[in-house]
Chain A
């Protein structure tokens, strides 16, 4: 386990001693801040409309769904920025040779890197909790829904980071890693909407619903509504685990090439 710890610490150090972490956190908080301001405005106008007898009765947590789905989407853009360097940079700097000739097991290497990137992304998500504090202070949201939202967000971030780690292990070019990760994430995200229209089926498999099931958005939606279900938890954990396993295979395969 010393290997895992060493790699985890080194990765975190690299993130926080270079501008990467700060730029990513800054961009994230800036965009989220704008969305939150808009959110407050919308909520305010609803309340006024309500006071004058408008029919809609919108609650704060219902509206927060909109906030957190946006956040999950923005994290799709930021994940590649964070994960692109994980392995690509090691290959470019020739430090991959150091890692592969040190007594570190493949899974320690992959998991250490994954955990470091996840920690950074998690920090970002955690910082956005300040908006929730505003809501709790001035509104009356259902705190349980907010927590289930955060659980869903952290689980999706796990998926994103695992996907980014995987693509980073495939190339020595950071830009390529970032672009492929980004395209893959957007594709998975949009799958939920576009695949719904597909009615083709191969034997017992209905293509449409299967594709919808693959999209992380499908599973995140239940969390944003405040429903924590085992099947969705299992989806996220297996998605992340599978991609980390693939990464491990790719890293090990470097010996054979």
Chain B
């Protein structure tokens, strides 16, 4: 027993030595940037995060979706070593948050829910403070700060006090703070909150531009945002992961719907449509009597069949289009089940 323990200790030590001296080798070796296993966090008696596990590959952009208080922020705080877990293991870039938080902190950028800004500093001073804090070598500091200022269009507020900036600018300075040292892993808690639509699309562009070179994990409760930027999403509800999928696979698990507008609706037509194999239901849409929605469970595309039926019945087909099951519906279907028990 003692021998095995000693063996483990030696192996652990070697591992750590190797990491310290061959960092590049190890970083290449480990494609898994974030690895969370059976993570649980209690606040007093309340379980904020309940036994969640997930992992993120290098270069992936992951959206973290959930209602307020679902446990997104808590998970992120644990990932960034701000808080410790109650149980479970979390590894970032191959380092354990519990054992080597310092190594992780060197490799991450973090934008908390409230951007951490000093109102009494100028934007440029603040960024140079963060760059120094994040151990950007002195020689590169200026060029990196200039780059991030340009990237986030902060040029015109560079010499203004942060305390006097508008919400949108403050959020952008927060974003700049998170990426100024060009971290391997970027953790962002609702990065687009408080931005106007143009800035939101710019921020998304920025996040997308980091694909492949960095690993990004960010939380939001805006669904369209996830659809626009992420490779994969995790939906979390009351501390538990309820869905974990790549974005392309999302809509397909549910029923397909086809919406059409015809000139004449008849019972005959509806009966004929119901007769097509694979069609599970036909509904007259609420807004306008001439609008029909055909639902099908079949994996195949039934559009051709449906259109043929409509034309045969001489219903006067005007328009016909597939309805992608919106992400919203999918999302709500996942979390509504638990809604009743919530007070």
Contacts and interface: CB of A to CB of B under 8 A. Distances in A.
A14 interface: yes
Nearest to A15: B120
B110 interface: yes
A3 B121 contact: no
A17 B121 CA distance: 8
A13 B80 CA distance: 27
A103 B114 contact: no
B177 A255 contact: no
A13 B81 contact: no
Interface residues of B, number: 29
A93 B120 CA distance: 11
A175 B117 CA distance: 21
A105 B102 contact: yes
B116 A98 contact: yes
B72 to A, nearest CB: 15
A9 interface: yes
Contacts of A93: 116-119
Interface residues of A, number: 26
Interface string B254-275: 0000000000000000000000
Interface in B73-118: 77, 80-84, 102, 105-106, 108, 110, 112-118
B81 A101 contact: yes
B118 A95 contact: yes
Nearest to A257: B83
A2 B132 contact: yes
A220 B105 CA distance: 43
Interface in A73-111: 93-105
Contacts of A105: 102
Given A2-B133, A10-B118, A97-B82, 18 more contacts: A2-B135, A6-B129, A13-B125, A93-B118, A94-B112, A94-B114, A97-B116, A98-B110, A99-B133, A100-B82, A101-B105, A101-B108, A102-B105, A102-B130, A103-B102, A103-B105, A103-B133, A105-B102
Contact of B133 (A94, A96, A104): A104
Interface in B125-158: 125, 129-130, 132-135
Contacts of A256: 84
B121 A95 contact: no
A13 B121 contact: yes
A94 B119 CA distance: 11
A10 B121 contact: yes
Contacts of A95: 116-118
A3 B106 CA distance: 12
A7 interface: yes
29 contacts: A3-B133, A5-B132, A6-B133, A7-B133, A9-B129, A14-B118, A17-B121, A93-B118, A94-B115, A94-B116, A95-B118, A98-B110, A98-B116, A98-B177, A100-B81, A101-B80, A101-B82, A101-B105, A102-B105, A102-B130, A103-B102, A103-B133, A104-B105, A104-B133, A105-B102, A255-B81, A255-B82, A255-B84, A256-B84
Interface string A233-257: 0000000000000000000000110
A103 B102 CA distance: 6
Contacts of A101: 80-82, 105, 108, 110
Nearest to A99: B133
Interface in B292-342: none
Contacts of B105: 101-104
A56 interface: no
A225 to B, nearest CB: 42
A6 B82 CA distance: 20
Contacts of B102: 103, 105
A102 B136 CA distance: 12
A18 interface: yes
Contacts of A255: 81-84
Nearest to B43: A257
